[in-house]
Structure 1
Amino acid sequence: MPSRHNTGLEVFNVSLLSSPADYSQLFALAPVSLWLEDFSGLKRLFDRWRAEGISDLRAHVAVHPECLAECAASLQVLEVNQRTLELFGASSQAQLLTNLSQVFRGDMLDHLAQQMLPMWEGQLGFAVQTVNYTLDGRRLDVQVQARVLQGHEEHWDRVMVSLQDITQELQSSRLLAASEQHARNLFDCSPVSLWVEDFSAVKRLIDDVRLRGIEDFRTFINVHPEFVSRCMQEIRVIDVNQQTLTMFGAQNKVELLAGLGKVFQGEMRDSFAEQLIELWQGKTTLMREVVNYRLSGDLVNIHMQFAVLPGHLADWDLVLVSLVDITARKKAEAYLEYLGKHDSLTQLRNRAFYMDELNRLSRKGPWPVSVLVMDLNGLKQINDEHGHVAGDALLRRAGEVFSKVAAPQACVARTGGDEFAMLLPGTDDRGALATIDRIHSILELNNQFYSGHKLSIAIGMATCTSSDQLEAALIRADRAMYVEKTRYYQEQHIERRGHGG
């Protein structure tokens, strides 16, 4: 007999029927496959085993699996109904019974123990799920329920077996399970960090604010910042994938969820406040760049996509959040931006930034503005005699000197090959002269620190008090620098036409 599972179908009790004719008609026309069988041989086999001292059938079968074939051989099929013939593709009962070995095959004997054990333990039936085969070889997944009929409890010579075809149901279940597993694999193996979250409590909080008559939500959260914190606390994380653990440096989900306070900190609150405003406005699909942190404390730049899943728009109880680590891209962008504003050799601002700053100062000040124009002395001679590597070293040293002198609001830039400028907003003549003194002091220390070529700088200064004077101040500073440069060469007895720089 096949192994069997509870179908929920109770086998009828023949004692309730008024006559044998009623029984015969009900049996023959039942819409479920019915088998009338004789288990008396199995009963006698059990009695013999007990007499031989066998008390644990499960252990006996484990040691003597061949006894299952003996159990199967002891069962006798007396009659089947029309639905059984249709189900197994038999033209007659004789054809079906002659070919039972085709119906009950494969791992049938392995499952047989499942249906025999309940009866060994004193029950008068069993319910199991198993696999049978039609006469043309088609697989049938079936649920089977058996019951010793009333009046036959002593010998088990009449047992009613009902068999229900659940092949289609199981196929649908298997397809659903495979689909779910496929979706799970896509989730777990995604190269993007995925979070499944429940925002239903957040929605209730937002809806409550609406019911209170609040219309300007931005002003509301500015006045009540604790509302944003409350919403952050009410988000429930349902699941995360492996990439999420990798991205945030967590060994497992428990560790990550316990450390969410480390992940979402700092400026994350302001970003979440903006997200709440978009949700208030009815947007349930959002994209933005945010900053999170690994459990180690390292900053992670994130491109976040947020979507309330279809079918959950009423409650926001299922939200998918995807996070892409764009830290490398942000660093590249920052570096490109840095290169666009800085001189790569000296690390000072470049000429383009210097010109933009001049334009800004001419519009906004603050006044007075002092300008220093500076030029390296003797750079061409060093390049000619010792090579550009030596000259570049001097330029880098000049960058070090100017960087140490410049105040935060100052702009110091390399404006040409050996030319530099420093803009000092809000600085008068006295402040500019103090800056020049600091340059000379640090320049002296620099020359003491570095052996080899001495660094020398010619500096010109001018101050203006309004926008219309700025260009003239630049010209005066440039001329003053050339005066200083001429004095340097005269003192050094160097012919500039021969050596330049």
Structure 2
Amino acid sequence: MDLTDATDAAPVDDLDATFDLAPVSLWIEDYSALRRMLDGWRAQGVTDLVAFLAEDPQRVRDCMASLKVLRVNRHTLELFAAESQAQLLGSLDSVFRGDMSATVVHELDQLWRGQMRFESETVNYALDGRRLDVRVRARVLPGHEAHWDRVLVALDDVTERVAAQRRQAESERYARSLFDHSPVSLWVEDFSAVRGLLDNLRARGITDFATFLKVHPEFVTRCMQEIRVIDVNHETLRMFGAPDLRTLLGSLSRIFRDEMRESFAEQLNDLWNHKTLQQREVINYSLSGELLNIHMQFAVQEDRLDSWDLVLVSLVDITARKKAEAYLEYLGKHDVLTQLCNRTFYTEELNRLARKGPWPVSIVAIDLNGLKQLNDQEGHAAGDTMLRRMGEVLDKAVDTPSWPARIGGDEFAVLMPQTDERGAEAMRERILALLELNNQFHAGQSGHALSLAIGLATCHVGDSLEAALQRADRAMYADKAQHYKDSAHERRGA
């Protein structure tokens, strides 16, 4: 509180009433002992008071003890819950407690530098134990600058404001903690420039945005470049393998690339259609180059729908789930033992080829000779070995768009879309050639040679694929019968 020279001319009674009835806590204090103490230290050569006080905390306490309260007003008694000035002054050790040293040192340093007034904020305590956050404003009264024997101190109760600020700070810390430590990758982004680009297109009369993107694919790239990342959380840095935010932001072109352009084009199309809440599966990349399957949720905050300058994006890494789904899909369509396609996939593909082709379609029906006898004589482990070898042969022999399948215990088939009789015959020769190499390789290991019965058939457009399957089976069984006939002849000859 300022006190001008004009107050010296006011009647004493008026000044007393003004002081006593002021709606702010007022203290008249005597700092003369403090002045002498500071002058003594200055005479001793002290130049940096703050450093000098830091050397010995008792010096601060001595300074505080040198201050003498001469008078307080009525509002002060009410503020500090004191019945009288005597009670208040007798309890100053309860009022000024806790760690006030930092505030006191700041005030002392201002006086040391010749300032006749100072301000600070500190904590006092009422006699009923209430914590009081107060703003302190003090000045040496005019005419007392030489000795500091009259100092007017005003205290503003700012407890409610400080409490509100504290609650706000705690709320911000809580929200920040939730953001930083969320187990989900979170991005805070600014899409206002993207909003501006879309609004500009509307102003130019563009109505079919999907067609516009097809004609101007560079617009997708431009929009991607206009997105401003405001913040990310810890999980984001971990997920993408970035040591810090700066590294991440400098590497966004490595994270969002390739397939992301198509996904972002879909996202733009949704935004064009005012869909500001979105979710989709996308592909990103870590900084080490690892592909990440991501479930993305995108939301323009409701109070920013006019500007899009605050967007929250959450990313969940579903790579493990996708791999598991792919593996389950693989198991559903493949034979575990031979790693070839299974009967389920074979049946589905037959139905598809029967409807759509492409024609002609050739079928190679295959049966493994002697498997039952081998299982009976040496056990199923020996038979499984032969089946795995059969899988190796067919896997090497057949290239896309054809594919091999195990459709029964010892039954196999090769479906060959867009392949005529010559192509089917070439496939038979290739299988037999690789079969011979496999038998040579395993000759010294198991002593058992793979032997196959093979039947071929080709179905042309307009013909029945089922009938072709039956022809291939009949040809295969005829080949098997000839195999056993020849084997019996060889045994009789022996």
TM-score, with length taken from structure 1? 0.93
Indicate whether 1:19 and 2:10 are aligned. yes
Determine if contact 1:11/1:145 at 8 Å carries over to the other structure: no
1:168 shift after superposition: 1.4
Residue 135 of structure 1 aligns to a residue in which SS?
A: coil
- 1:495 & 1:357 partners in 2: Cα distance? 41
Distance 2:264 2:309 in 1: 18
Describe the shift of the 1:52–1:360 C-alpha distance in structure 2 as closer, same or farther (beyond 3 A): closer
Q: How does 1:141-156 map to 2 (within 5 A)?
A: 141-156=133-148
Larger mean CA deviation between 366-375 and 66-75 belongs to 66-75
Give CA deviations for 1:192-231 in whole Å, capped at 9, x if unaligned: 1111111111111111111111111111111111110011
- Tell me the alpha carbon deviations over residues 166-214 of structure 1, each in whole angstroms, 9 at most, x when there is no partner: 1111111111111111111111111111111111111111111111111
- 1:470 aligns to 2:461 (yes or no): no
Aligned to 1:213, which of 205, 208, 227? 205
Shift of 1:28: 2.3
Give the secondary-structure state (helix, strand or coil) at the position aligned to 2:464: helix
8 A contact 1:15–1:150 mirrored in 2:
no
Contact 2:3–2:142, Cα closer than 8 Å, also in 1: no
Cα distance in 1 for partners of 2:158, 2:113 equals: 28
Amino acid at match of 2:256: F
Give the aligned partner of residue 175 of structure 1: 167
Is the 8 Å Cα contact of residues 197 and 317 (structure 1) preserved in structure 2? Answer: yes
Distance in 1 of aligned mates of 2:107 and 2:142: 19
Paired residue secondary structure (1:421): strand
Moved over 4 A (4+): none
1:239 and 2:231 correspond: yes
Where structure 1 has 5 or more consecutive residues not aligned to the other structure, the ranges are 1-9, 497-501
What is the TM-score when the length of structure 2 is the normalising length?
0.94
Does the 8 Å CA contact 1:228/1:269 hold for their aligned counterparts? yes
Between 478-487 and 47-56, report the one with greater CA deviation.
Answer: 47-56
**1:368 matches 2:360:** yes
SS of 1:478 mapped into structure 2: helix
1:448 aligns to what?
440
User: Are positions 1:401 and 2:393 aligned together?
Assistant: yes
- Check whether the contact 1:290–1:301 (CA below 8 A) recurs between aligned residues: yes
How many angstroms apart in 2 are the aligned matches of 1:255 and 1:107? 42
Asked if structure 2 preserves the Cα contact closer than 8 Å seen for 1:14 and 1:23, the reply is no
Corresponding letter in the other structure for 2:454? I
Which residue pairs with 2:78 in the alignment? 86
1:488 matched to which residue of 2?
483
* C-alpha distance in structure 2 between counterparts of 1:113 and 1:370, whole Å: 96
* 1:303 equivalent among 279, 295, 307: 295
The SS at the match of 1:106 is coil
One-letter amino acid of the counterpart of residue 416, structure 1 = G
Distance 1:341 1:109, change over 3 A: closer
Q: Counterpart in 1 of 2:242? A: 250
Classify 1:101/1:494 alpha carbon distance in 2 versus 1 (closer, same or farther; 3 Å). Answer: farther
Tell me, in whole angstroms, the C-alpha distance in 1 between the residues paired with 2:376 and 2:350: 34
Q: Which runs of 5+ in 2 are unaligned?
A: none
Code of the residue aligned with 2:477 in structure 1: it is Y
Of 100-109 and 187-196, deviating more is: 100-109
Does the 8 Å contact 1:11/1:162 carry over to 2? no
Q: Which residue of 1 aligns with 2:341?
A: 349
Are residues 494 and 61 of structure 1, via their aligned partners in 2, closer, same or farther at CA, if it must alter by over 3 Å?
farther
CA distance in 1, matches of 2:102, 2:474: 104
Q: Which moved more, 1:469-478 or 1:197-206?
A: 469-478
Match of 1:130 among 110, 122, 140: 122
- C-alpha separation between the residues in 2 aligned to 1:38 and 1:11? 17
- Cα offset for 1:444? 1.1
SS at match of 2:145: coil
CA distance in 1, matches of 2:341, 2:126: 85
Question: 1 or 2 for the larger relative contact order (CA 8 Å, sep ≥6)?
Answer: 1
- Compute the displacement of 1:69 (Å): 3.0
Q: C-alpha deviations, 1:431-486, integer Å up to 9, x for none? A: 11111111111111111222321011110011221344322211111111011111
Q: Which residue of 1 aligns with 2:66?
A: 74
More divergent stretch after superposition (16-25 vs 200-209): 16-25
What amino acid sits opposite 1:450 in the alignment?
H
Q: Which of residues 417, 421, 430 is equivalent to 1:438?
A: 430
1:359 corresponds to which letter in structure 2? N
Pairwise CA distance, 1:132? 0.8
Counterpart of 1:50 in structure 2 is 42
Give 2:87's aligned residue: 95
2 CA distance for matches of 1:26 and 1:388?
Answer: 110
1:161 aligns with 2:153: yes
Q: Which amino acid aligns with 1:93?
A: Q
- Alpha-carbon displacement from aligned partner over 1:391-423 (angstroms, at most 9, x marks no partner): 111111111211222231213211110001112
Q: How far does the alpha carbon of each residue in 1:365-407 deviate from its partner, in whole angstroms, 9 at most, with x for none? A: 2222211111001111111122111111111111121122223
State which drifts further: 291-300 or 151-160.
151-160
Moved more, 55-64 or 292-301: 55-64
CA contact (8 A) 1:17 1:23 kept: no
Structure 1 residue matching 2:270: 3-state secondary structure: helix
Summarize the Cα distance change of 1:295–1:63 in structure 2 as closer, same or farther, 3 Å threshold: closer
